[in-house]
Amino acid sequence: MVQKKSTAAIKSLIKGYRRRDMGSPQLEAHQKKMSRHERKRSVSIISCILIVPCVTSMFRVQLYKRRHDVTFYYPGLASQREKLEQLGIAGMSSDETSDGNNSKSFRILTPQWRSPLVAAWVRYFDVLYNRARRDRVFGNGRGAFPRDRKSARGESKSKKFVAGLPINAYRQEWLDKQIDVDNVVQPGPSVPWLHEPAIIE
């Protein structure tokens, strides 16, 4: 164990000296490379932790992360962050793609349990995220912007749901079909699913 620590320490020192000897352009290129590696590593870690089974699920992880990130840029969204965290990744819609005539269409699959109030509420985060991207808040603006998901809408076939949310986060028709709502769904008191108009001013 001691030998392993010593080897790691020596390697770290060597890397430090090499970085110190790099010229400014070389150092900048190295830092960019490391940042890119770290971003890819972070996405991989999230995937492994959540045991993401498919591309659709990975999309939900990314969608949640974008919406969560933007709450730190607009002060008016700070009060909404807790509700977003309650919804979590499982509360995000997914999508499926279909190719045709040299273009891709994206069909939004909304969780069947989720209220339309929540759907409108979460889409506002996407509008603000796009605005922040244009302002280069999240890096230098490289990479594709989030895709436009207005092509068509549908309902997810998944039976999974997020328990313990405010009761008006659930679709009433879905609640009516559930058995023992109080113990299984465990809904809390209603809350407003609204954003302050002044957030983007």
Query: Helices 116-134 and 55-70: crossing angle, nearest 10°?
Result: 70
Domain boundaries, position 145: 53-158+194-200
Label residue 81 by pLDDT band (50, 70, 90).
very high
* 175 occurs within a structural domain: no
**Parallel/antiparallel/unpaired status of strands 103-110 and 94-100:** antiparallel
* 185 occurs within a structural domain: no
* 178 occurs within a structural domain: no
Distances (CA, A) of 102 to 30, 55, 95, 99: 38, 21, 19, 7
* 41 occurs within a structural domain: no
Comparing 33 with 28, the larger pLDDT belongs to: 28
* 19 occurs within a structural domain: no
Q: What are the backbone dihedrals phi and psi of residue 16, each rounded to the nearest 5 degrees, phi first?
A: -60, -45
pLDDT in the model for residue 11 = 55
* 26 occurs within a structural domain: no
The dihedral of CA 127, 172, 152, 61: what is its sign? Answer: positive
* 107 occurs within a structural domain: yes
Give the chain's domain count.
1
| Region of poorest pLDDT, from 20-24, 84-88, 120-124, 178-182 | 20-24
Contact yes or no for 76/199 (Cβ under 8 A): yes
Label residue 125 by pLDDT band (50, 70, 90).
very high
Comparing 38 with 156, the larger pLDDT belongs to: 156
Find tokens 């793609």 and name the residue: 97
- pLDDT, tens only, 128-147: 988 888 877 665 555 554 54
Find tokens 């068509």 and name the residue: 152
Instruction: Over range 103-112, report the average pLDDT.
Output: 73
Instruction: Over range 28-55, report the average pLDDT.
Output: 50
